[in-house]
Structures are given as C-alpha cells and as structure tokens.
Amino acid sequence: GNSVTQMEGPVTLSEEAFLTINCTYTATGYPSLFWYVQYPGEGLQLLLKATKADDKGSNKGFEATYRKETTSFHLEKGSVQVSDSAVYFCALYEYNFNKFYFGSGTKLNVKP
C-alpha cells in the first residue's frame, strides 16, 4: 500500500540552525511528493513538491530531493528563522488511487 513516515517531533532549534526533517514513503506506483506547512490556526499550505525521481523541490529556502533509491524526501533548510515555526507534513500523491497520503506531521519550534 501507500504510506508516508516522517520523524516525530517536536524539533526544537535555535535561529540560524540547520534543519532536517526526515520523510520516507512506500508507494505502489510512481507518486508525486510534497511538503506542506501548517501555521497555527490555519490550513495546510504547499511548501514544495517534486514529481519524479531526482527532482529537487525548493521554496523559501527549503529544499527536498526525490530519492527513489531510498524512497525518501527529506526536508532541509540551511538557516531556520523563528517564523519557520510550524507543523510540517510530508505527503505523496498516488495517481492510480487519486489520493493524497499524509505523514503524521512534525512540529518545528525555532527559538530566537
């Protein structure tokens, strides 16, 4: 079946620290992969995406590379800011099932 596993939080970092949030997936076909971000009291917003193997998605200083060989899509940022504090969700879209599958979310706290 299809599923997404991401590291449990919360992750607490100091401002300007390096961020990695791990995400691995299982899929029956060739999914597209996404990272969504959820700020307090809001819905999910797309952060970045990658539609095929070796694609790198990037946005607002965040990056993630679609690694088919390791079935991973780890989120990274070189220097986090307090404003990056949010919950981050890894997700895959499986075209055969026409569905999104979301990870459990990782809460990031960035301290000044």
Q: What is the CA radius of gyration of the chain?
A: 13
Using CB under 8 A as the binding rule, the residues of this chain from 54 to 83 that contact another protein are none
Among 34, 35, 62, 88, binds another protein (CB under 8 A): 34
Name every residue whose Cβ is closer than 8 Å to that of residue 55 and which is 6 or more positions away in sequence. Answer: 65, 66
Q: Judged by CB under 8 A, does residue 88 bind another protein?
A: no
Q: Judged by CB under 8 A, does residue 104 bind another protein?
A: yes
Residues that bind another protein (CB under 8 A): 32, 34, 41-46, 49, 89, 93, 95, 98-100, 102-105
